[in-house]
Amino acid sequence: MTNLILASSSRYKKELLSRLQCDFQCESPLIDESILALETPAAAAERLAAAKATKIAAIYTGSLVIGTDQIADLNGTFINKPETHEQAVKQLQQQSGQTILFHSGLAVVRTRQDGQLECKSTVNSTQVTFRQLSGEIIERYLLLEKPYDCAGSFKAEGLGIGLFTEIKSTDPSSLIGLPLIDLCTFLNQFSYKII
Contact between residue 77 and residue 100 where contact means Cβ atoms under 8 Å apart: no
- Does 175 map to a domain? yes
- Does 16 map to a domain? yes
- Does 195 map to a domain? no
Give the pLDDT confidence score for residue 2 in this predicted structure. 82
- Does 71 map to a domain? yes
Q: Is 182 a catalytic residue?
A: no
- Does 154 map to a domain? yes
Q: Write the single-letter amino acid at 186.
A: F
Give the pLDDT confidence score for residue 1 in this predicted structure. 63
- Does 101 map to a domain? yes
9-41 per-position pLDDT tens digit: 999 899 999 999 999 999 999 999 999 989 999
State the DSSP string of 15-65. HHHHTT----EE-------PPPTT--HHHHHHHHHHHHHHHHHHHSTT-EE
- Is residue 145 within a helix (H) or strand (E), and if so which, with residue range? helix 135-145
- In sequence order, the 6+-apart residues with CB closer than 8 A to the CB of 171 are 124, 126, 179, 180, 181, 182
- Does 55 map to a domain? yes
Count of domains observed in the chain = 1
40-57 per-position pLDDT tens digit: 999 999 999 999 999 999
In terms of residue numbers, what domain contains 77? Answer: 4-189
Give the pLDDT confidence score for residue 115 in this predicted structure. 85
Catalytic residue among 23, 32, 69, 182: 69
CATH for 106: 3.90.950.10
Ranges in the chain, pLDDT < 70? 1
- Does 38 map to a domain? yes
